[in-house]
Amino acid sequence: MLLASSRVLLICCAAAAAFVVSRRTYRRWVGAALLVASVCLPEAIGAYGIKPAVDRSRPCASNARVVAIDGCDASGSMPSDHAAITAAMVVVSWWAEPAAGAAAIVFALVVGASRIYLGLHYPSDVLAGYGLGAALAVPLVLVAARSGQLSRKGRAM
């Protein structure tokens, strides 16, 4: 399903980054860069590190009663990359632009619920994805916040 693909999430993230950059403040410029990093890190670590290590099959693959609308992906189920990406987007968006962070929370919850509804993930996969995304984004935001404080005091970034 095209609307649920990671590529569409990446495009949405790029559009959000462009909006943030267009606002022209230090915090928003850094927020745009962090949005890109917060999408790439959970996708890479989840898809290529954790999923192969956990090797948990998807509900649609392990339960004959669960039928995925768009077919069952052969990749692992734990953690949900979509949930990880959207959780990271929430953390970064909330830091860069709190109003956007509130909208990102709603978006993340809808994405997580859709992954369960579509039979592609167990609820624990989505929760693990949220945890992964937040755990990767919080340090990025803390470093960015610290570098912003240093630059405003006249010190080197």
Considering only residues 104 and 5, tell me which one the structure prediction assigns the higher pLDDT.
104
Whether residue 25 is contained in a domain is answered as yes
Q: What mean pLDDT do residues 11-38 have?
A: 66
Query: Structural domain tally of the chain?
Result: 1
pLDDT at 73 over 70: yes
For 49, the domain range is 2-151
Is the confidence at residue 155, as pLDDT, over 50?
A: no
Residue 156 forms part of a structural domain: no
The least confident of 45-59, 83-97, 138-152 is 138-152
Per-residue model confidence (pLDDT) at position 151: 42
Rounded CA gap, 71 and 60, in Å? 8
Q: How confident is the model at residue 130, as a pLDDT? A: 94
Domain containing 143 — which CATH number? 1.20.144.10
Give the mean model confidence (pLDDT) for residues 25-54.
Answer: 75
What burial class does residue 106 get, using C-beta atoms within 10 Å of its C-beta: 0-12 exposed, 13-18 middle, 19+ buried? exposed
In a domain, 63, yes or no: yes
Domain-located, residue 43: yes
